[in-house]
Amino acid sequence: MSKYWSSLVEQLKPYVPGEQPKMANLVKLNTNENPFGPSPKVIEAIQKELNDNLRLYPDPEGQALKDAIASYYADYDIKASQVFVGNGSDEVLAHIFQGLLKHDDPILFPDITYSFYPVYCGLYQVEHHAVPLTDSFEIDPADYRRTNGGIIFPNPNAPTGRYLVLQHVEEILQANEDSVVVVDEAYVDFGGESAISLVNKYPNLVVCQTLSKARSLAGLRVGFAVANEELIEALQRVKDSFNSYPLDRLALAGAVAAFEDRQWFEDSCNGVINERERLTEELEELGFEVLPSKANFVFTRHKQKSGAAIAALLRDEGIIVRHFDKPRISDFLRITVGTSDQNNALLKALAEL
Ligand SMILES: *Cc1c(COP(=O)(O)O)cnc(C)c1O
């Protein structure tokens, strides 16, 4: 604390990201990065962009990326003017909170969810109400029929990995015509269906995605939102009052190439899905309960041992997983699906414990 701080800064409770330890040879299964790495075409595109043009500002609109995303989702009839791009989906989400979720009534999100949401509420002074997940850690659309200033949830949810079918997403949209409903699809490509298919049907829907997980570009910082043009305009207005150039030349070039290389993307998602199914089965054999996951992680608890104890023992073996010391989920571990070697190392360590 300092007398120079604003009163807002004094009250902030910032997000704490999963740690990025500097030790070599770690089996790092704590931050849901993709173990298979980005497409070689992405690296090539970035290398081509490494030239004297770096003295020039990038395109403030990121038009080439909006075009690439619109054409990737051509089946859903998405126009480039319905796409917003930002520096990681965390930045896109921040603009959504400020531009579309800040109203008089509290916004709604699940009690167990992405822990950045309450942080944005603190930063932008948005009231919220946490809606409990069911006992089986699912979102029940019936719980989202109450006065609100907006709704946001990840689908699949984090850290549970549970997916809400689009029919239920539609129920929430239909019951809340007067508020914006934000579906944060950071993990949708690992087996879920995207609500981008619903954007032209619901004027109150915003779908947010990231290139950090399925496209294996967490280090590049690219995220985007798809919605109708009026909602996108709100995000543009916030962005142009905040930072004209959120995506640099390298990020734009790499992100465009990522959307163009569909084959690499699909192979990598399938690789993660196959490993996730194997990991789930083997964890169950070791006495773990594993929630059904459509993400690149599993959320699991052991029938006898506490989550904190297992996380600490794994750490001694150089394996890092995520434990949340929070009500309802303190027994659980969130384990990122790794390469088959990494998953084998994890399973071996768990069997020995
Ligand atoms: C990882 C994650 C994000 C953030 O993605 P970035 O694009 O890396 O900022 C957003 N929402 C959820 C639910 C996530 O898990």
Q: Ligand 1, atom 5: nearest CA belongs to which residue?
A: 89
Instruction: For residue 287, report the distance from its CA to the centre of ligand 1, in Å.
Output: 30
Q: Which atom of ligand 1 is nearest to the CA of 91?
A: 9
Instruction: For residue 208, report the distance from its CA to the centre of ligand 1, in Å.
Output: 9
Burial (Cβ within 10 Å: 0-12, 13-18, ≥19) of residue 102: middle
Task: Please give the pLDDT value at position 16.
Answer: 86
Task: Please give the pLDDT value at position 87.
Answer: 98
Q: Which residues, in sequence order, are bridge partners of residue 28?
A: 320
Q: Ligand 1, atom 2: nearest CA belongs to which residue?
A: 186
Task: Please give the pLDDT value at position 22.
Answer: 80
Task: Please give the pLDDT value at position 50.
Answer: 97
In b/e form, how buried is each residue of 3-29, taking b as 16+ CB within 10 angstroms?
eeeeeeeeeeeeeeebeeeeeeeebbb
| Cβ of 166 less than 6 Å from ligand 1 | no
Instruction: For residue 135, report the distance from its CA to the centre of ligand 1, in Å.
Output: 25
Task: Please give the pLDDT value at position 238.
Answer: 98
| Cβ of 90 less than 6 Å from ligand 1 | yes
| Cβ of 223 less than 6 Å from ligand 1 | yes
Three-state DSSP string of 146-193: CCCCCEEEECCCCCCCCCCCHHHHHHHHHHCCCCCEEEECCCHHHCCC
Q: Which atom of ligand 1 is nearest to the CA of 212?
A: 8
| Cβ of 186 less than 6 Å from ligand 1 | yes
Tell me the domains of the chain and their CATH numbers: 7-38+263-352 (3.90.1150.10), 40-261 (3.40.640.10)
pTM of the model: 0.97
State whether residue 209 is helix, strand or coil: strand
Beta-sheet pairing, 27-29 with 333-336: unpaired
Pocket mutation for ligand 1, best pick of 117, 190, 210 (most atoms within 8 Å of C-beta): 210
Q: What is the pLDDT along the chain (353 residues), one digit of tens a residue?
A: 899 999 999 999 999 887 788 877 899 999 999 999 999 999 999 999 999 999 999 999 999 999 999 999 999 999 999 999 999 999 999 999 999 999 999 999 999 999 999 999 999 999 999 999 999 999 999 999 999 999 999 999 999 999 999 999 999 999 999 999 999 999 999 999 999 999 999 999 999 999 999 999 999 999 999 999 999 999 999 999 999 999 999 999 999 999 999 999 999 999 999 999 999 999 999 999 999 999 999 999 998 999 999 999 999 999 999 999 999 999 999 999 999 999 999 999 999 98
Name residues whose C-beta falls within 8 Å of residue 129's C-beta, 6 or more positions apart in sequence: 106, 107, 108, 146, 148
Cα separation, 137 vs 114, whole angstroms: 14
Contact (Cβ atoms closer than 8 angstroms) between residue 287 and residue 349? no
| Cβ of 89 less than 6 Å from ligand 1 | yes
Instruction: For residue 89, report the distance from its CA to the centre of ligand 1, in Å.
Output: 6
